[in-house]
Structures are given as structure tokens and as C-alpha cells.
Amino acid sequence: MRRGAFSLLSLLLFSYESAAVKLSIQRPVVSQRPKAATNANNNLINKGNERYTANITISGRVVNVALDTGSTDLWVMPPDNLPSFNDTHLNATIFYGDGTDYVQGEVGVGVFQLDTYSIPFQAFLYVQNASVDEQPDFDDGIFGLWGLGFDTPGSSEVNDAVQGAYGTSATWGQSVLANIFQENPTGDDYIGISLSRNGDTGGTADASLTIAEYDSDYAAVANSPKIPQNPLNSGAWTVTLDSISVGGKAIDWPSTMEQAPAGKNIVVLDTGTTNVMMPAEQVAAIYSSIPGAAFSPNLDQSIPPTKFSTTTGVWVLPCNASVNVVATFGGQPFPIHPLDMSDMQVVTSPDGRRNYTMCIGTFTDVGTIVNGVSDALFGDSFMRNAYTVFNFGTGGNSKGDPFVQMLSQTDATKATADATSVRSALMANMPPEISPIELVKIFNGSEPSGDTGAPAQGSGRSGSGNGALSLVPSLSLICAVALAFLAFF
């Protein structure tokens, strides 16, 4: 379940020429599923901690696509089109998030390849029209989405279109995963996902996707408790969250889901959501407990809101705050790395006179987008902290109800030390950070910038920008870390 950004950029439209071969349905040649993928080490690409992508090959064209456990369909919109394209002329539109984000096109069929996996005849949506929400991903070189969710009825626009036209025996409209699993009916049907963390010097997991096998670095996940899908057959990777605590104290969070056990919640484990999205009240319960943190409704967005958030409101935290947040699933604690709790940015004051470094909360208001499905979206900010196995329960020895298994990847003590050293090193080379409450006052216009904090570099020049915002790209942050560490030795 993805969220769109507040973007005013224009649509990326292109006129596509398709070879439009008239489709004749043939029984695909089934190749035996290989025993192991070639190389699980970092076979995923981490795009600035915001998207995790893979280079897939579809109809002979390599396309970088985002991985999304929150949806099911595969769609592509490569700028250089597909070299050849079997067009079914079936139209489909897929909506994401609150429904303003969509992609629209025709169902095509082609060869899908990733590593040693190959599906000779795979349906996908060949997108001709995408909403503006997609533009940031296109700008980032991401030209598609690979859904890793369920094939249950209603979950897949592509499958619904194909089955509507060709009948339920047309398995080529199923999801990529269902078709890969079908190539080996006796094997277990699961995937394993590890997400890396940029800017983490304390040792980060690599980013990997494996199908029907574990990444050998995290094979111990086999011993983790099985956390059943709840509600069963929800069509999404919904699971029960036992609790989420801050500073050792569980926050109060009444569930909106009748299937949630007493005192617990239901969340979607969603690689396609950048951050964690939960009700504003619970976000506040977490951040308000951090000494020095301050909230701004930020209605004029003078502080750039957390990317992909549904609201303008931001929590500003001390950048080196040692935030101790732990999510508990299946009775197991999953500490969340402090680096996953806030994003660092450099922002110019509305009067243009000063630059400040500030850290804003990554947990944001979920709004109404998961109503009736779950209480929250646990996206990448959470998922970086666990190796997760998603078992569909459709094959092999684990045939039964779907479940997940998670292996914690974050040692709370080490993570706190890591976060403090990373942030301190970065701040040594960045504009000053002042107290969050002062920052909020400066950015909401109730205080001028010059009266607080040390002057920023270059502040001697007269202010030119009028509330102009400057974001330091993550690359320069990484360079700043490298420089800072060099300075230590």
C-alpha cells in the first residue's frame, strides 16, 4: 500500500508504440524452479532508504521496479518502452494509498526474469498514464512496481481482467510470485526480505530478496515464531502487533479492528511504504515522550514534511535523541534503530537568514488510508529492523494459513551508540541544531531566526530566499560522515 508524495510535477506521459502482437494463448513451457537464486547478497537496491528496488527483466527490457508487499500486481512504464509487447487490449487501473495515486494501462504478457527465476508467460500492466504521485519514483529511475502480496480475489486488477476475459484457467494473469511458486508445486511458497540502512555505520544488514529459500545470513529465522496472518484471508500481509513501547512503556492504542485480540493491534507489513504510518495520537504518544521534542502543525509546510506523509504536521526531535522504541510481534521484541525514528535535513529559515539542521519524525499520521484493513502501515522504517519471511501457505510442507517469521536485526544498545556517533559526526559539518521548540517557533513565524542559535555559515550575506528550503541530499550526508570519521583518525 503505497503513498504518494505531495508533488506538483507534471505527468510523465509518453506515446508508446506497441508491436501489439495478437495474443494467442498457449500453454507455457514450464521450467523447473532452480534450487537456489544466484546471489542473495545485496540483490536489492536501496534508494535513499525510501524505496527498495530490483532490476527485473520483462519482455527483454531491464526495468528497475520497487518491491511492494502491500500490493499484488506488476506494472512497468519504462521511458524507452518495451522492445516487443504482447498486448491483450484489456484495460486496467490500479489505485494506491488513499486512491489519488494510480496507474492506468493495458495488460501485456511477456517473459519475466530475475536472477535464475523465469516465467515464460507473465501478465503485467503496461502503464500509459500515471498520477503525479509516481513522478518522484520516475525521477529516481524507478519505472515500475512489483507487488509481492496475495492473489486472493479482488487483490489483483491484472488477474481479475485476465480471468474475466479468458476464464479462471488462465493462470498467466496470476502474480509473479504465484507463477514462480507454481513452477515447483512441491516446494514451500515463501519469500525472505532484508532491507539495508543507509548511513548506519554500526553494521547494517544487506538488502536481499529470496524466493522459496532464506538468505543464508539470516537462516536462523526458521526458528522464529510463526505469526499468522490476521485477519485470515485479508488479502494483505496483516499481522497482530502485540504492543509498541517507548522507553519501556507500552503506548495506549485502542484497535479499530474487531479481529485484533484484546489490547493488541493489526498492522500491514509493507515494504512499499517508506515509513511507519499510524494514528496521529499514537505518533504523538511516541514522540512526546522524547525530551525536547516539539510538534508543529506546519500548515504552510515551511518545514518540509516527512516524505510520503498524509499530513503536514511534523515532530521535531533533537537529532541525537536516544529514542528507545520497541515493537513486539509474536512475543518477540523488535527494537527500532534510532536512525529509523527521524530524518535529518537542513532547512533555511523563512526569513532566509539562517540554515538549521533539524530532525523530523518518520512515524506519521496514517489518516484514513488503512480503514477497515488494519490500524497501521509498518513500512521500511520498521522493516529495516527485522529479516522477514512471508509464507503464503500455498505449497509444500508449510501448506496452510499464511504467516510471517521475523528475526530481529537491531541490538538496542549498539544502535543507540551507533546513532549518537553517526549524528554527532554529521552535525559537526552541518549548520547548527537548536532546540526543537525554538525551531518550531522560527518556522511558524512567531520568532525571527536571528535571535537564537549560532549564526549559520554565510549568514553574513543578506537573506535572499524567502522561506526557501534546502534539503541536503543524502549523498552529501554520507560524505559528511566519511569526512567526520577521517577527522577522528
**CB-facing half-sphere around the CA of 407: CA atoms within 13 A:** 18
Contact 340, 381 (CB under 8 A): yes
Q: Under 8 Å CB-to-CB from 135, ≥6 apart: which residues?
A: 5, 7, 9, 10, 11, 12
Helix (H) or strand (E) holding 288: none
Q: How far is the CB of 28 from ligand NAG (least distance, A)?
A: 9
Q: At CA 272, angle to CA 252 and CA 241, rounded to 5?
A: 25
> CB-wise, 129 or 198, nearer to ligand NAG?
129
> 65-102: buried (b, 16+ CB within 10 Å) or exposed (e) per residue?
bbbbbbbbbbbbbbeebbeebbbbebebebebbbeebb
CB of 456 to ligand NAG, least distance (A): 4
Cell numbers at 221, concatenated: 529465522
- The answer to whether 395 touches 190, Cβ cutoff 8 Å, is no
Shortest CB 5 distance to ligand NAG, Å:
18
Question: In the complex with ligand NAG, which residue's Cβ is closer, 373 or 415?
Answer: 415
CA distances for 389 relative to 105, 203, 216, 405, 434, angstroms: 32, 21, 13, 5, 42
Nearest CB to ligand NAG, comparing residues 372 and 458: 458
Q: What's the closest the beta carbon of residue 120 comes to ligand NAG, in angstroms?
A: 8
Nearer to ligand NAG, 143 or 308 (CB): 143
The least CB distance from residue 228 to ligand NAG, in Å, is 33
Rounded Cα distance, 174 and 77, in Å: 19
Residue closer to ligand NAG by CB (options 101, 188) is: 101
Cα 21 from Cα 108, distance rounded (Å): 10
Nearest approach, Cβ of residue 131 and ligand NAG (Å): 8
CA dist., res. 115 & res. 87, Å (int): 25
Among residues 395 and 436, whose Cβ is nearest to ligand NAG?
Answer: 436
The helix/strand/coil state of 73 is: coil
- Chain-centroid distance, C-alpha 131: 19
Smallest distance from the beta carbon of 412 to ligand NAG, in angstroms? Answer: 15
Binding site for ligand NAG (CB under 6 A): 13, 21, 24, 26, 43, 45, 55, 59, 84, 86, 89-91, 104, 109-111, 129, 318, 320, 348, 353-355, 420, 424, 433, 437, 440-441, 444-446, 456-459, 470
CB of 84 to ligand NAG, least distance (A): 4
Distance, in Å, from the CA atom of 191 to the CA atom of 383, rounded to the nearest integer, reads 14
Q: Which residues, other chains included, contact 44 with Cβ-Cβ below 8 Å and sequence gap of 6+?
A: 52, 53, 54, 67, 195, 196, 207, 208, 209
Q: Which of 265/355 has CB closer to ligand NAG?
A: 355
Q: Least CB distance from residue 208 to ligand NAG, whole Å?
A: 10
Residues 337 and 343 sit within 8 Å (Cβ to Cβ): no
Nearest residue (CB) to ligand NAG, 243 versus 322: 322
With respect to ligand NAG, which residue has the nearer C-beta, 106 or 189? 106
Using omega within 30 degrees of 0 as the cis cutoff, is the peptide bond preceding 231 cis? Answer: yes
